[in-house]
Structure 1
């Protein structure tokens, strides 16, 4: 399972979202920027590593439209590009402020097509690249690698031009790259509408999954199927045709309909835009980051708006402190938390949080990526639920996506719904949606297998004398809060972490365990990572004060046979004896 340093995970996957860092030393080398690691990086996690197809498109755009000393970053729409420009204006320390401009490339002619093609480039002085990269990483709203491939081909064929550069009389027909069949089957498709009675035979997509001629006429239906899986009954594996036939009612929550599920180009985009929408709807106030979060969530709250009150332990004492602040008159926009948290798998007391939110008028945003909506049901306690569909919902580790769900019973629902009707952009690229729909068809059965195997691995690790602590929702001090939201047939998920009594043992175990090793989680194969090292290398002491130790190893359980995976981990543990 262990790949070469810098190879994609899975191997030979053009749009993989993980990269092989198979030894502790390789992870340190990556963080230190050492040549022997960095020079071999074929890919990386897409919000941190800009894919070669995106670099190629950016280079082409620079050569055609750039000025001396400029670099550029690519986004799916003008409004996203403009948010990047605003962030760079506010964040750059250059004096005088850098010259920033946006170039919008659009189709040569107005085409009747369900593909929203085109790209917006933010141009900036090359020395400002790190500032632009911050926005790319935190917002999760950059162009996807598949979109970049498509636009590169359009640009080469002269089908993308600078907005406003054409006369209205020019009417050259535009065919677009050949691998997309442009039919009118779904031209008038609205995401919330049922499929037309004469829609094409969607079963064709099964055979086309790995081909290059992915049928564009299926994109609208694919997005609808994804949203119905998220909102729907989800009690068994469901193909595309069956997903489209599902009733709009009868989901996990009687008040949850597909119309309130919004797709995003990444999970972080769902978080970023939730925060943005809340500030726009309710006014800019400080937010609360409760529990030790995935790094970019805290960065978003700190950098985009008035700041954050950070409760890194996610404890009852933290909620006591928050309650005192609220009683004293402090007011907040929203509380952001994960259910359960990553990497310590602690679950917030959502029942208490909901009571405080109702009493003191702040929103609750819950990221349930790690728990996933087959194991836990957090919507009744949240105003917005966000999730990274990149993870276990997809499983194949070859596409980025996210979702944002509005709670219809929320007191903020009317104002948020009205705002999203005008402000929401569907920037999930067409081909990414096709891959995600296909990957998610067996979501239900995969979750069941992963839950069982994760518990078995957890039991093995708990017995080992060299392991200091095992973090898993079932054995957490916060288990009661997890169980408050656990679905009747739900398990405890596929993510667990462990710490060791010595750094040497952590390094030995990690190097020995025969799994894939790299960033990300929720993959169909078991994936191990020295999480703290990768996520917090420049702030290890800061992370340690919240119990996130530098020798922590995080494991995301996959679909391997339970007995065989237990044997794999038992072999690795033998090196500690």
Structure 2
């Protein structure tokens, strides 16, 4: 297909290596055998000691760890204290509140927040046009590390690895310092007003709220005119170093974020450089790519550092605007969504089967007078690829006044349009929207026809902080330019793999939206040009067959999904190792293997999956070595 690179990558057999290889900010890590996945979950050193990276909310990136260590060495006690890094003061305060709430007997006086700001005497020329180093650190007793890690994992509030590197350099050269070391009696204060419109005028400004790209204007920037890097490495540091320098330009970041938001809205389909692409008129077929809701605009889209952070702030916004009531988690979800609903606010009721019977029970409870804040669901679910009945859920929400929140990450908005049935839609842009597995991002979308739109919009105007680091935004925009072409090919490849797996007698069940008993519910929201997505999974009759198959499968293997290359994982082992029986009662069996299908040629996929299936039929052998 013109404009796309076909992937026939050798599978990475090195435990703990980055996926993709040689990618400093990789989102996945190589766990190439079944045994290595189990060993990771059991904390065995032969895996953990080799980990070069991991999924960013579960694994503290080495650049983040170095930055945190530097801060403790300079401002704390390395023997008794640790530090956790955040982009804004409010994120750090949220961590402190969580630490104290979860550890009521802890001495809160030993937990403190430090703000790191640009040194006023070392500001670069035209500093108002440059991204300046800023970070917030929560320093806490080492014994609270497990709780701090839970906050980091569930909320996605932590500093990104690129921002950590950016700030580390500033800390090392003295251009960023801890705020209390400065005397600033005459430092001007920011004017009052909606946060997103405030400009970075002084050291008191903790985060550049104006760079989310709200508003339709943009400015030309001649720094973008240079060509791509010579070596073509997807995550090469040279991309930023050579084209923008370490003095990142705010205008370029604003353009990148606006382009991302317009791409999500469906009004930007051009695969062109910035800022020229922002001048491109929408294509004739744009309407079928749009959200199809009257009054919808790019200003209803908000960007976040990762998808789970968008989910966390959606939940916070609903609690603040509607009130503290229990929420519903409908369908077996990605685990952290359920954890956020359980740990923050009034708790959650879990309907793990996501069935019509579950909706019958919910309707009975609502008719009996129970009140709920919201219903969260995935469209379709991960990893079982089941689709919720959004029409019925919407009718219940209209009758009983609760919010419907849909995670569209798996279906993706080029395949399905769920916004007409939801009050809020959120998504992980880390996945297929980016594809390159080298940057994190997330989005929240408000439905302008929702009864809660006015209240949520007001909340966002006053509370929203743009925390997507500018360098991450540049990668996210660049990676997403060919999003439409990639989605079409991946849809087709996923159907091919599903058909291959369905034909083998060792496989108990293939989970894919097209072959699911809930296909008719998926089709309600499927766009005319859309497909069934790139994710599928299967379970095996025998655990031994699942292990042999996985060990012989020559794809990249590790956490995450939505990559441009096929990525496989024994998902239930990784996500639910300590609760396998609990997960099994909802259909998530330990033998489940999940596949995120990529851009490989169909013949390559037939060969790779055929070899792994043949290994089962041949009785295997030792399989897959470590």
- Structure 2 length as normaliser, TM-score? 0.87
* Pairing of 1:135-150 with structure 2 (within 5 A): 135-150=151-166
Matched, 1:232 2:243: no
Query: What's the counterpart of residue 480 of structure 2?
Result: 440
- Hey, what's the Cα distance between the residues in 2 that align with 1:200 and 1:160? 28
Helix, strand or coil for the counterpart of 1:344? coil
Work out whether residues 236 and 444 of structure 1, in 8 Å CA contact, stay in contact via their aligned partners in 2. no
Match of 1:244 among 267, 271, 278: 278
- Hey, what's the Cα distance between the residues in 2 that align with 1:252 and 1:274? 19
Give the 3 Å change call, closer, same or farther, for CA 238–155 of structure 1 in structure 2: same
Match of 1:204 among 226, 233, 236: 226
Give the 3 Å change call, closer, same or farther, for CA 258–99 of structure 1 in structure 2: same
Query: What's the counterpart of residue 205 of structure 2?
Result: none
Matched, 1:165 2:165: no
Work out whether residues 232 and 252 of structure 1, in 8 Å CA contact, stay in contact via their aligned partners in 2. yes
Work out whether residues 339 and 348 of structure 1, in 8 Å CA contact, stay in contact via their aligned partners in 2. yes
Match of 1:89 among 93, 100, 110: 100
Give the 3 Å change call, closer, same or farther, for CA 465–242 of structure 1 in structure 2: farther
Work out whether residues 307 and 426 of structure 2, in 8 Å CA contact, stay in contact via their aligned partners in 1. yes
Helix, strand or coil for the counterpart of 1:392? coil
Helix, strand or coil for the counterpart of 1:301? helix
Give the 3 Å change call, closer, same or farther, for CA 242–324 of structure 1 in structure 2: farther
Work out whether residues 237 and 445 of structure 1, in 8 Å CA contact, stay in contact via their aligned partners in 2. no
Give the 3 Å change call, closer, same or farther, for CA 387–155 of structure 1 in structure 2: same
Helix, strand or coil for the counterpart of 1:373? coil
Give the 3 Å change call, closer, same or farther, for CA 163–197 of structure 1 in structure 2: closer
Query: What's the counterpart of residue 177 of structure 1?
Result: none
Matched, 1:320 2:360: yes
Query: What's the counterpart of residue 33 of structure 1?
Result: 43
Work out whether residues 284 and 305 of structure 1, in 8 Å CA contact, stay in contact via their aligned partners in 2. yes
- Hey, what's the Cα distance between the residues in 2 that align with 1:190 and 1:496? 33
Give the 3 Å change call, closer, same or farther, for CA 205–301 of structure 1 in structure 2: farther
Deviations 1:4-31 (CA, angstroms, capped at 9, x unpaired): 0000000010000000000000000000
1:258 to partner: Cα distance: 1.3
Helix, strand or coil for the counterpart of 1:262? strand
Query: What's the counterpart of residue 308 of structure 1?
Result: 348
Work out whether residues 262 and 403 of structure 1, in 8 Å CA contact, stay in contact via their aligned partners in 2. yes
- Hey, what's the Cα distance between the residues in 1 that align with 2:223 and 2:420? 37
Gaps of 5+ in 1: 172-181
Work out whether residues 212 and 303 of structure 2, in 8 Å CA contact, stay in contact via their aligned partners in 1. no
1:447 to partner: Cα distance: 0.3
Gaps of 5+ in 2: 1-9, 188-199, 201-207, 618-626
- Hey, what's the Cα distance between the residues in 1 that align with 2:213 and 2:429? 18
1:206 to partner: Cα distance: 4.3
Matched, 1:121 2:137: yes
Query: What's the counterpart of residue 23 of structure 1?
Result: 33
Helix, strand or coil for the counterpart of 1:331? coil
1:563 to partner: Cα distance: 1.7
Give the 3 Å change call, closer, same or farther, for CA 70–475 of structure 1 in structure 2: same
Deviations 1:461-491 (CA, angstroms, capped at 9, x unpaired): 1111110000000000100110000011100
Work out whether residues 114 and 187 of structure 1, in 8 Å CA contact, stay in contact via their aligned partners in 2. no
Query: What's the counterpart of residue 7 of structure 2?
Result: none
Work out whether residues 98 and 124 of structure 1, in 8 Å CA contact, stay in contact via their aligned partners in 2. no
1:347 to partner: Cα distance: 0.4
Match of 1:79 among 90, 93, 97: 90
1:195 to partner: Cα distance: 4.0
- Hey, what's the Cα distance between the residues in 1 that align with 2:475 and 2:212? 20
Work out whether residues 558 and 567 of structure 2, in 8 Å CA contact, stay in contact via their aligned partners in 1. yes
* Pairing of 1:536-575 with structure 2 (within 5 A): 536-575=576-615
1:213 to partner: Cα distance: 3.2
Match of 1:477 among 517, 539, 544: 517
Helix, strand or coil for the counterpart of 1:536? helix
Work out whether residues 291 and 312 of structure 1, in 8 Å CA contact, stay in contact via their aligned partners in 2. yes
Deviations 1:159-187 (CA, angstroms, capped at 9, x unpaired): 1122243223899xxxxxxxxxx9xxx99
RMSD of the alignment, in Å? 2.1
Query: What's the counterpart of residue 69 of structure 1?
Result: 80
Match of 1:372 among 412, 421, 428: 412
Matched, 1:413 2:450: no
Work out whether residues 17 and 51 of structure 2, in 8 Å CA contact, stay in contact via their aligned partners in 1. yes
Query: What's the counterpart of residue 174 of structure 1?
Result: none
- Hey, what's the Cα distance between the residues in 1 that align with 2:215 and 2:596? 36
- Hey, what's the Cα distance between the residues in 1 that align with 2:181 and 2:344? 34
Query: What's the counterpart of residue 337 of structure 1?
Result: 377
- Structure 1 length as normaliser, TM-score? 0.94
1:199 to partner: Cα distance: 4.1
198-207 or 156-165, larger mean C-alpha shift: 198-207
Query: What's the counterpart of residue 533 of structure 1?
Result: 573
1:562 to partner: Cα distance: 1.1
- Hey, what's the Cα distance between the residues in 1 that align with 2:359 and 2:426? 22
Query: What's the counterpart of residue 108 of structure 1?
Result: 119
- Hey, what's the Cα distance between the residues in 1 that align with 2:106 and 2:50? 36
- Hey, what's the Cα distance between the residues in 2 that align with 1:294 and 1:497? 14
- Hey, what's the Cα distance between the residues in 1 that align with 2:463 and 2:132? 16
